[in-house]
Amino acid sequence: MLNSCRQFTVLIRQTHKRKDAFMNKRISYSSTVSACYIGYVCQAAVNNLAPLLFIIFQTRYSMSYDKISMLILINFVTQLLVDLGSVKLSKHMSVRSMTILAHIMCAAGLIMMGVLPLIAENTFTVLILSVIVYAVGGGLTEVLISPIIEAIPDTAGSAKAAAMSLLHSFYCWGQVAVVLLSTGFLAAFGENLWFLLPVIWAILPIFNAIFFAKVPLAPSLSENNNVKLSALFKQKGFVLILILMLCAGASELAMSQWSSLFAQKGLMISKSLGDLLGPCLFAVLMGTGRALYAVFANKISLYKIMTASGILCIVCYIIVAFSDVPALSLSACALCGLSVAVMWPGTFSLAAAKYKSGGTAMYSLMALAGDLGCASGPFIAGMICNFVTANGADESSGMKTGLGFSVLFPVILVICTLVFTFIVRKRKAE
């Protein structure tokens, strides 16, 4: 009897230990989620701080629209190349090491953007160098953060889609923070101190690099790193996923990257007000859209919301291109943020649900396609604007023409969503 009691006591203690370990694991994973959220805020900083400084670069360093477009292009082309190379890099580095490296590169690039223009003669060259460095960090962040969230246990189906949408909403809140705090800084201290902004924002990725060194990562992350790219392309509908990512990135960035300059040059609004009513309100509505979908994901068909979002985006771009009423144009610019809210995280969720064994390779390809869209959308809009203004048109007409051309991206997105929906439903029926 005594021996039995001892065995029972040992069993109880072991049960409590397992329970405590499980609870600690849950608590630890919550810290992992927090680190991922901050990671997307860091990415928002590297992608959206420079556009707020475009007007300063244009006036202080005599940069033309094509040079400004080049900065956007180099940012996302670099991220694209990093996306492509990350598949091979993941075979030599752990996810944790790559994530820490991503944040270090983000911080280094931001510091370089603030410091180098003050000491170098060729400002444009050093800005390109700075952009390349922080773009490496941004590219790695995009590849790594989503699968880290996807690998966390205890969520599946609509809950996983909700978690993904909530994750990507933090990119939007990061963009809002970047716009509000940066605009407030410039208004309070003057544009002469613009160079301090990138240095200040570099503190955040430095902090998160230290944070990521301590948080636990799900063991399943290491299990999906060896999927062959050729196997993914053989999956029916996967090419459509890549097109959706491209169009999602282009639809979002063409408007968000140019909204500040469009408000100031196209609609003749002051910089502070233009930043608040342009990129800030755009980001607020985009973040709100992603947060709302995270709440109602189990009640709304992702295919339907993706289609409706694409249609709304088309309407917004048409209004911006053809409206002569500044208030209406700004409203459409802001509402475009709501229309693109679900496009990027929604495509990730579609792929995660249909191609469950895709692993890091799948996320890398999707990030590559998305960054191609992020690069091409604003670049094409900027080049068209530069061409139109070079041929005698005013800046307002040029920017409207460039943004109007970008309506092609949400049009293609709607078509691809409908085709992908058809493929999925046909396979289920079979």
In angstroms, the Cα distances linking 319 to 98, 155, 279, 389, 394 are: 42, 40, 17, 20, 19
pTM for the structure as a whole: 0.72
**pLDDT for res 20:** 38
Count Cβ neighbours within 10 Å for each residue of 10-47 and write b for 16 or more, e otherwise.
Answer: eeeeeeeeeeeeeeeeeeebeebbebbbbbbbbbbbbb
CB distance 275 to 52 below 8 Å: yes
**pLDDT for res 206:** 96
**pLDDT for res 299:** 77
Q: What are the backbone angles phi and psi of residue 318, rounded to the nearest 5°?
A: -65, -40
CA–CA separation, 1 and 192 (whole Å): 83
Superfamily for domain range 38-215+224-429: MFS general substrate transporter like domains (1.20.1250.20)
User: Angle formed by the axes of helices 158-189 and 343-354, to 10°?
Assistant: 150
- Model confidence pLDDT, tens digit, residues 200-226: 999 999 999 999 999 888 775 555 455
CA dihedral 70, 76, 79, 81 (to 10 degrees): -70
**pLDDT for res 243:** 94
CA–CA separation, 390 and 57 (whole Å): 19
Q: How do the domains of the chain map onto residue ranges? A: 38-215+224-429
Residue 268, helix vs strand vs coil: coil
- Model confidence pLDDT, tens digit, residues 166-204: 777 888 889 889 988 998 898 888 888 999 999 999 999
Closest alpha carbon to 413 in 364, 324, 346, 349: 346
Query: Mean pLDDT of residues grouped by 10 in the chain (430 residues)?
Result: 44 41 51 90 90 84 81 85 78 87 96 92 91 93 83 60 73 87 89 92 96 84 58 82 94 84 72 72 87 77 90 94 85 91 86 74 80 86 86 81 92 93 75
**pLDDT for res 220:** 59
In angstroms, the Cα distances linking 41 to 77, 150, 180 are: 20, 18, 14
